[in-house]
Structure 1
Amino acid sequence: MVQVHNALVILIICAPMIVEAVGSEDTLPQPRVSRWCRKIGICDSVSNYPVMLAKKLIQELKDKNTIFAADDEYDISEEDEETFFYTMLTSNTGNDIKKQARRKNPKILTRISYDDEDYTEEEDNEIKLCESTVQYKHPKIAENRNNTWQFILNDDEDPVQTYRSEICKTSRSKCSEKLIPELNYESACIQRFTFKEMYYIDKNKQIGTDYFKVPTCCSCKLFHTN
């Protein structure tokens, strides 16, 4: 009898903790947000993601022929990317592109010249003031404009929402030593964000849409010290 009583006490004490972790039958649990996720506002991994519910809701959207957001994902190095843009802007096609950019409805060009194969980084006048990494995120959780974290609809086997992100390697660190600020100024690398629309799972386990934070670039900012 005593053993049964003790078991009931343990069950009663643990019940609220279980509900908080997994949610009730009709509501979702709160996402378990890591420190790194809080820093960048978006994460493609979370320990208590409702996988089966997400698959069900994604299928509902697919049945309605929903077009999901999907930034193009290319596995190229940073050096290749810089070479691509340098060549594009110095070639005849690059000049055409710059002219087209001034028009209201620019024509899409499909041909790109790669005449300057001997280009090296030293020939470029561009100086990178802050180090960053480019990643393509298939988010599982993200933070909206109200600083609320939500489960984002996605699938590891077949990602449906993809966003290009650029993340500072060392946020709040000083900018490149090649930048020499004027007197009474200091520099720092700052993580910049934008908000993009995403499908997420609302508190009633239904499909919702909202705007969520995505890290977009790492910029150098000058601060007045006085």
Structure 2
Amino acid sequence: MSENTKDYNAQRDHVVFPERTNYDDYMVKMSSRINPKVSKKKSSCIMNLCDEVDNYPTEYITRVMKDHKYDNLFNDDDIVPFDISQRNQFDGEETLCSTMQHVYKPKKAMNTNKTERIIVNIEGRKQTLVFETCVENTKCQFSEMFPNDYQTECKQRYVVRRLWALNDEKQPAFDSFEVPSCCVCTYKKK
């Protein structure tokens, strides 16, 4: 029997005999299909939300989501970025904190129980998040105008969003994720 036939039979049956293949190598190979790693190509994570992962299981997710009854929950429209810093402002008003806007289609994230989950984000079933983050290590604008015994800081605020993700049994289910929402100016007495 050729080596390729042995590997094919091992993958097809999910029964591994010592003479067929190295079991540890096989399990590593199979688990990487369902448990992808964050991509090393570039930094693609923002606050535990990753949009680029190595070995993302697109084919597996497509197969398990094929006949899912909740198709109307997904949106495939491309979201056009807009200035969310203006969402609660009137003409001439500015925020006290510098922010960055993100339009993200996460493929992996940490849920509220601190467990990494694969997020369903494939063609036909997109989950897009629009949020803003604080520019790191910044004080509030005009902080010098606060009383001397106060210090200011821009702090990130979060909301909990429910997204489709693969659960422990590798089946799609709703899970809760902490997602950045806005940046606020805080102050406290020194």
TM-score (norm 1): 0.60
Q: Per the alignment, in what secondary structure is the counterpart of residue 67 of structure 1?
A: helix
Conserved? CA contact 1:142–1:213, under 8 Å:
no
Residue 74 (str. 1) matches residue 41 (str. 2):
no
Check 1:56–1:224 CA distance in 2 against 1; reply closer, same or farther (3 A cut): farther
2:54: which partner in 1? 47
Listed as ranges, the gaps of 5+ residues in structure 2 are: 1-17
Q: Give the length in aligned residue pairs.
A: 168
2:59 & 2:126 partners in 1: Cα distance? 15
Residue 133 (str. 1) matches residue 100 (str. 2):
yes
Instruction: Describe the superposition over 1:103-122 as per-residue Cα deviations: whole angstroms up to 9, x where unpaired.
Output: xxxxxxxxxxxxxxxxxxxx
Residue 169 (str. 1) matches residue 177 (str. 2):
no
1:201: which partner in 2? 166
1:36 & 1:190 partners in 2: Cα distance? 22
2:14: which partner in 1? none
Sequence identity percentage: 25
Instruction: Describe the superposition over 1:174-220 as per-residue Cα deviations: whole angstroms up to 9, x where unpaired.
Output: 12136622222211111111111111012322112111111111111
Q: Which amino acid aligns with 1:47?
A: D
2:31: which partner in 1? 23
Conserved? CA contact 1:175–1:188, under 8 Å:
yes
Q: Per the alignment, in what secondary structure is the counterpart of residue 145 of structure 1?
A: coil
1:190: which partner in 2? 155
TM-score (norm 2): 0.70
How far did residue 138 of structure 1 move? Answer: 1.2
1:58: which partner in 2? 65
1:90: which partner in 2? none
Answer 1 or 2: which has greater strand percent.
2
Check 1:24–1:183 CA distance in 2 against 1; reply closer, same or farther (3 A cut): closer
Name the Cα RMSD after superposition: 3.5
Conserved? CA contact 1:31–1:48, under 8 Å:
yes
Q: Which is higher, the Rg of structure 1 or of structure 2? A: 1
Residue 153 (str. 1) matches residue 120 (str. 2):
yes
Check 1:209–1:75 CA distance in 2 against 1; reply closer, same or farther (3 A cut): closer
Residue 219 (str. 1) matches residue 148 (str. 2):
no
Conserved? CA contact 1:40–1:215, under 8 Å:
yes
Listed as ranges, the gaps of 5+ residues in structure 1 are: 1-7, 87-122
Answer 1 or 2: which has greater helix percent.
1
Q: Per the alignment, in what secondary structure is the counterpart of residue 60 of structure 1?
A: coil
Conserved? CA contact 1:31–1:151, under 8 Å:
no
Q: Per the alignment, in what secondary structure is the counterpart of residue 57 of structure 1?
A: helix
Q: Which amino acid aligns with 2:52?
A: S
